[in-house]
Structures are given as structure tokens and as C-alpha cells.
Amino acid sequence: MNFRKTIMTLAVLGQLVLLKGEQHVHTLAALEVVTTGTRTERLAAEVPIRTEVLGSDLFGQIRATDLASALEYLPGARVEANCQNCGTSEVKLLDLGAGYNQLLFNGQPLFSGLAAVYGLEHIPTAFIERVEVVKGGASSLYGPGAVAGVINIIPHEPLFNQRQVELSVELLDGEPSSLLVGIWDWLDPAHRSAITTFMEARHNESVDLNKDGFSEITKKDFLTLGTNFWIYPAEGTRLSGNYAFTWEKRRGGNRMDLLPHESQITEQLRHRWHRGGLTVEHDVNPDWKISSSLSLSHIDRDSYYGGVGTVPLLGEEGFNEEQYNEAVEEASKLYGFTKTTRLYFDALSTWNAGNHAITFGVQHHYDDVFDEKRDEMNRSLLANGELAERTGEDPIANGTFSNTGIFIQDEWDPVDKVTVISGLRVDRHSELNNWIVSPRIALRFTPDKAWIIRASVATGFRAPEIFDEDFHIEILDDPTRTRNAGDLREERSVSYTAGFVWTPKILDNRLQVDVEAYRTALKNSFSISGIVLHDASGNAYKERQNTSGAVVQGIEVNTRYQASRSFTIEGGFTFSVAAFDAPVEVLPGIHERRFLESPKWSGVARINYTMNEKTDLFLGLIYTGPMIAARELEGSLNEDTGNFFVIDCSITRHIDLPIGDSEVHMDLTIGVRNLLDHRQGDLTSGPDRDTTYFYGPRFPRSLFVTARIKF
């Protein structure tokens, strides 16, 4: 198979469908090509493993500058902020947190540990063609951590030469935010190679939502530079590669004019993230394809979390210089340095034998983690705050983790209307003594053109290692880490999904209804105790422990109606119940079966209307139902956080500007995010605020203007 010919052929077919007019416009969705479930190019409607797609057209309509914002309109997923100081966010699939899903870049799991904490905001949408999401663990291609599913970022591959510049300004609760994007696409005349080079720079000031002098949205400076390339040296062979560097500095708290340790509370982070990889794909013959990939990710992070607390600052009532200087001296010992490295390798072989497509593969990833305390001069410290003699003498974390996975997956078409994907995966993790065996199976049945029926059963696991949330320091009286209990075992899972897609002929295929029920049973599930413990050196920490188990189950219903080429409405809701088998201690003396910050009801909706060939309108809704939230400092639960309705709207004007012999195209978008300004109404205040008591919509009402110029 020639990859470029395949892509260009599908693009032409899509245009032909549009040219047919309004009679069967919805059939265009059937031409969406996906790769995540099987690692082969397949039409979305034909894959037994349900795959959802977010396209790049949505990103501009809602000013989604990063992956976190883009995923907010994914049905059955929720993006939430977890900290009032630093604004770290995570995405939940099937009501399971970030530790249960894998973020992939073109199929490669480069997001682990530290990268997964802030990685959602470190991936710009500028170079993304689409985001593919597979919920559940039905595919044998993905190993530990993919219990709830995978989110795969597919980069834009040029089909012609083009340059693009994007400028955007947003007022976030009155504070300015700016964006600059540059993209250069190059395709050689023989269509044998292509390169995309991209840059994205962002800046925003801190935002104090409750006007107490302490920020809820961090001050942030962000820069990403990168390139993706594709080379086709011979028929049926493709070499692709990518490299990107991300630099980010963010700061939250108060008194941004002071050094972090001189303020009452500051969380400051500075990231340097290098990531890249190479992939070789080759068609040995029409029935045999092989591929191999090698990827590397490395992050350095300088951090600070602390301050002088309630001690009055200079110029404030009650200021005492001696008391303040003593507090500053202690606060200067709360800096930190973290670095993580991930190396990933895989090799796959797919063989078509009659009505079977058999994929065999080997995958290996290696993680190296280091974390230690430092002072304001970047000198290494012991746990008790004294100077260390050397770097790494008394680290908070210092370890390596690895996993080797071997899998086989068979895609079988026993009859014309039935496809079965069965797979077996075995993994050996460095923290476990035995191989973990994970069988999986998925079924697709199409009784006629109006119905697609899918079902799957999958097993999976998570190993006891250092997890994403361990790299986000919570603050009570001291920096508090999460540690694994000494007897922590791997977490096992069994997931079931069943659903259908119905496209009735009565409406000329304009209506589509997609329903899926799911159930995931967790054994030895991980839970972080709300009790703060202290080790012999006085360091505060919480323990991650095994509980008896948990069950997450629910139903997701999505509909899409394309009334005409100019008007489309789509939306969906999710009903989910997530509970432990037995109550767990979420706060001292308080036991709860229900998952915290997991609403039973959630939903999204979108309306796209093309007024004319020059003007597009967008209206979107994100709904989050009531949930339970923990007040850690107060030691109580908020049993009902209320409903949240986030409404986004925008208008885009398409403008062609003839300049000399060439034509410049500009898309000018004006929009409002969170029109009703729905957000948390009981934010805590002051230097000793409860920073983890933070729920609901991530951003307040804002107005934005974006100009995207292509030439």
C-alpha cells in the first residue's frame, strides 16, 4: 500500500461526496480514516474497536490552543483542573483518571510520569490533524495504563506547500492572553517527502477569580518549536520522524513581584521537554507489512511550592522583620528539581492471510525518574533541609521502571457482515515478579447498512510504580508527596463494552445515533488515603494503597443530525456510576464508596451553521453534573457541587485577499467562552487555602479574537 496515495485518494473521495449536494451528506463521516485501534489505516465505520475523532476544525472555533482544551468537547471524557495554585489538569475517560488512560503521539506513549501531569497543556493544537480516542482496553496493542482507553494525537501531514500564521488575543476575566502560531508545510514536487515545521508561543497573566490577592489561573509563558517529516524512498516504504522542544514557566499564588520564597504562597514551575521519534514502515508484499519505532522523551523541571504562609509581608499590618526573615529562610528550602526520561521501542508485523489480518508485536519502555529538594541557589538538600554534599545524596524519588510487552492480534472476517478482533498480550513489569496475561476480544456486526453493532471484553493492569499525580506537590503545612504502600500490588481490570450505531434510511442517512454501555471492574484498585503521615525525617506524605476493588459503569449516548450541508447539530450525554466495592477512608474519619469529583451526568453539544460561503457560526455546550468534592483542610465533604453549563460561541469570517499574483486566505474568528460564567462559587482564600478543593469549569468567561492567515 502506498500511504500517500491512500491519503490523497480519501481526500478526493471526501470532496466528491460534498459535490453530490445535500442528498447523502452524512456519508462523509464513513470516510474518516483511523489508525489507533489496529495500527492500520481503516475507515472508522469498519473498525470493530470503536474510535472517536476530534478534527482540527473544532480547535479554532473554541480557541483550543492546547490538547486539554480540545478534549473538553469529547463525549464521555472530562477535563478537570486539580489545583488552585498551579492549574494542573487531567482528562478522565469512562470516569477513570489520567492514570488509567494513555496519551500517544502517533501511536507512541511518550507521556509518562512528569509528562502526564502538565502534558495536556504542553501539546499545542497547531500541528494536530486530528485526535483519535479509543475508550476501553479492547486493543491488544496497548499495555499498562490503557485500562480506560488511549488518546492518540495524529500530526498534520502536508499535501501541498503552504505557510500559516495565527494571531489570537483573549481577555480572561479581564486579564490578557496572547497566542502566536507559525506553520510551514513543504512537499517536494515528486511527492516523495514532506516536512512540517511549527512554532507556538503563548502568554497569559495570572487571574484572581475571587479577588483575595491569590491567583486561581497561573501566570504562564509557553513556547514550543518542532518539526515532523515524512520520506517515501520507495514504493510501499515510509520513514517518518518528529522532534519538539517545549519550554514553559508558570507561577501561581500571590505577590508575583517577589521571589517565590518571599511570598506567602507560590507554586512556580519551569519545564524543558525534549521529545522525538523515528518510525519505519515497509510493505514487504501486498499481504505483509512491517514497522518499527523508537521514541525518546526527556523533561527537566525546576519547581517551587511554599512560602512564608500567614506571616505578614512588608507593608502589611503586623509585619515583623525578624519573624518574616526566619520564615523566608525556611521557605527558601522548598525548591525542587525533577527529571524524567522515557525510552520506547516497538516492532510490529501484520500479515494478511485470507480473511485474517494477524498482527504480532513487541514493545518495551524504560522510565528513569529523579526528584530532590533544592534551595533558592539550586543546591541539593537533604530531606531535613540541610545542604547535601552531592546531587542525589538524599532524593525524594530515584528509580527506574520498565515494561516489556508481547502481543498477537487477529482481525478475522468470518463472514461478510462480521469482524472479530481477538488478541493476547503478555507483559513483564520491573516491579512485578510474574508475567501478566491480558486476553482481549472485540466484535463488529453489520446486519444491514443502517446498523453497526459492537461489543468487547478486555483485561488489563496497572503496575505499582511512580504515577503522574506523584509529581504534583500538594501543600498542607509542608509539601506532601504520595508514596506507594510497601505491600502495594498491581491493579487488575476487566472491561466490557456493548453498543450500536444506527443510521436510519428514513432521513437520508442524515441522522446517526451512537449508544455504548460500559463496565470496568477493578481488583486491588489504587486509592490515595486522605490521611497525612510523616516519615522519620518529618516529611509529609500520603499513601497509595490497594482497596478491595471498584466498579465504574455507565452508558454513553451520542446523536448527530446533518440537516443540510450548512447545518449540523450533534450532542451526547453520559450517565456513569463509579464506586469502590467497600468504603475507603477519603479523609480522616470519613469513609466513602463513591469516587470523588465524578459526576453521574455529563454531556456535550455542538451546532455548526454555515450562513454562506464566507461565514460560519458555532455554538457549543459542556455540561457537568453534581459531584462530591473533598475539603481536605476542613475535613469534610461537599456532597453536591451543583450543575455547570459552559456555553461557547463563535463566528468565523473567511476572507480571500489577492496580493500580487498570489492569494492569501484569512479566517477571522470572534468568540466567547463560558458565556454564562459558570464556575465554582466557594473557592477557598488566603495563603493557607485548600488548593485541592478545586472543581468545575477550568476557566471563567472570556472574549477572544483569532486571525489565521494561510498563504
pLDDT at 485: 79
* CB 550, CB 580: distance < 8 Å: yes
CB 191 within 8 A of CB 4: yes
Q: What is the pLDDT of residues 581-633, one digit of tens each?
A: 989 888 889 999 999 999 999 999 999 999 999 999 999 999 999 999 999 88
Task: Give the span between the Cα atoms of 465 and 687, in whole angstroms.
Answer: 32
**Which structural domain, as residue segments, surrounds residue 126?**
3-710
Number of domains in the chain: 1
Predicted confidence at residue 113, as pLDDT, reads 67
**CB-based contacts of 222: which residues, under 8 Å, 6+ apart?**
121, 122, 200, 201, 202, 203, 246, 247, 248
Mean pLDDT, to the nearest integer, of 171-184? 94
Cell numbers placing 114: 512528569
CATH at residue 179: 2.40.170.20
Contact status, residue 116 vs residue 91, Cβ threshold 8 Å: no
Least confident of 285-299, 479-493, 659-673, 695-709: 479-493
The closest alpha carbon to 557, from 522, 596, 602, belongs to 602
pLDDT(288) > 90: yes
- Inter-residue contact 58 to 619 (CB < 8 Å): no
What pLDDT is attached to residue 472? Answer: 57
- Amino acid 137: pLDDT: 78
What is the predicted pLDDT for the residue at 13? 40
Using pLDDT thresholds of 50, 70 and 90, give the confidence band for residue 471: low
Per-residue 3-state assignment (H helix, E strand, C coil) for 613-642: CCEEEEEEEEEECCCCEEECCCCEEECCCC
User: Chain-centre distance of CA 98, in angstroms?
Assistant: 8
Whether 289 contacts 282, CB under 8 Å: yes
Query: Strands, E, within 286-396: which ranges?
Result: 288-306, 335-353, 356-374
Q: Is the pLDDT of residue 376 over 60?
A: yes
Gap between the Cα atoms of 465 and 342, Å rounded: 14
Band (pLDDT 50/70/90 cuts) for residue 143 is confident
Are 179 and 200 in contact by the 8 Å Cβ rule? The answer is yes
The secondary structure of 435-496, three-state, reads: CEEEEEEEEEECCCCCEEEEEEEEEEEECCCCCHHHHCCEECCCEEEEEECCCCCCEEEEEE
Q: List, for residues 223-282, the tens digit of each pLDDT value.
A: 999 999 999 999 999 999 999 999 999 999 999 999 999 999 999 999 999 999 999 999
Judge whether 112 and 342 are in contact, CB under 8 Å.
Answer: yes
What is residue 205's three-state secondary structure?
A: coil
Is a pLDDT exceeding 80 seen at residue 166? yes
Of 338-347, 407-416, 457-466, where does mean pLDDT reach its minimum? 457-466
Q: Measured between alpha carbons, how far is 266 from 328 in angstroms, rounded to an integer?
A: 12
pLDDT of 71-125, one tens digit each? 999 988 999 888 888 888 888 998 888 888 888 888 888 777 677 777 788 888 8
**What is the rounded distance in angstroms from the CA atom of residue 213 to the CA atom of residue 340?**
34
What is the tens place of the pLDDT at every residue in 475-529?
A: 434 455 677 777 778 889 999 999 999 999 888 889 999 999 999 999 987 777 7
**Residue 572, pLDDT above cutoff 90:** yes
Mean of pLDDT values over 385-389: 91
The DSSP letter of residue 108 is B
- Contact between 105 and 153 (Cβ < 8 Å): yes
The CA distances from residue 577 to 447, 530, 555, 557, in Å, are 32, 22, 9, 15
Q: Please give the C-alpha separations between residue 63 and each of 59, 73, 175, 208, 377, in angstroms, as whole numbers.
A: 6, 12, 16, 21, 39
Q: pTM score, two decimals?
A: 0.89
What pLDDT does 37 receive?
67
Yes or no: say if 580 and 591 are a contact pair by the CB < 8 Å rule. Answer: no
Name every residue whose Cβ is closer than 8 Å to that of residue 316 and which is 6 or more positions away in sequence.
none
- pLDDT score, position 530: 65
Residue whose C-alpha is closest to residue 249's, from 231, 272, 217: 272
Q: What is the pLDDT of residue 480?
A: 59
Name residues whose C-beta falls within 8 Å of residue 251's C-beta, 6 or more positions apart in sequence. Answer: 206, 218, 219, 220, 260, 266, 267, 268, 269
Query: Is there a contact between 185 and 217 (Cβ–Cβ < 8 Å)?
Result: no
Q: Which residue has the cell 468534592?
A: 629
Instruction: Output the pLDDT for position 26.
Output: 33
The pLDDT value recorded for residue 57 is 84
Whole-number pLDDT of residue 544: 79
Q: What span, in angstroms and rounded, lies between the C-alpha atoms of 619 and 557?
A: 20
Q: Which of 422, 293, 406 is nearest to 360 (CA)?
A: 406
Q: Mean pLDDT of all residues in the chain? A: 87
Q: Using one digit for the tens of pLDDT, what is the confidence trace for 4-62?
A: 444 444 443 443 333 333 333 333 344 566 666 666 666 767 777 888 888 888 888 88
499 residue type, one letter: G
pLDDT value at residue 14: 41
CB 409 within 8 A of CB 139: yes
Q: How far apart are the first and last CA of the chain?
A: 32
- Listed in sequence order, the residues at least 6 apart from 544 whose beta carbon sits closer than 8 Å to its beta carbon are 464, 467, 482, 483, 484, 485, 488, 526, 527, 528, 529
Instruction: Give the pLDDT band (50/70/90) at residue 665.
Output: very high
Map 483-494 to HEC letters: EECCCCCCEEEE
Residue 433 has pLDDT above 90, yes or no: no
Contacts of 190 (CB under 8 A, 6+ apart): none
pLDDT at 23: 33
Q: What is the largest CA-CA distance in the chain?
A: 83
Looking at this protein, which amino acid is placed at residue 538?
G
Nearest Cα neighbor of 677 from 209, 65, 316 is 209
pLDDT in tens, 324-341: 999 999 999 999 999 999
Distance CA 450, CA 568 (A): 20
pLDDT at 547: 80
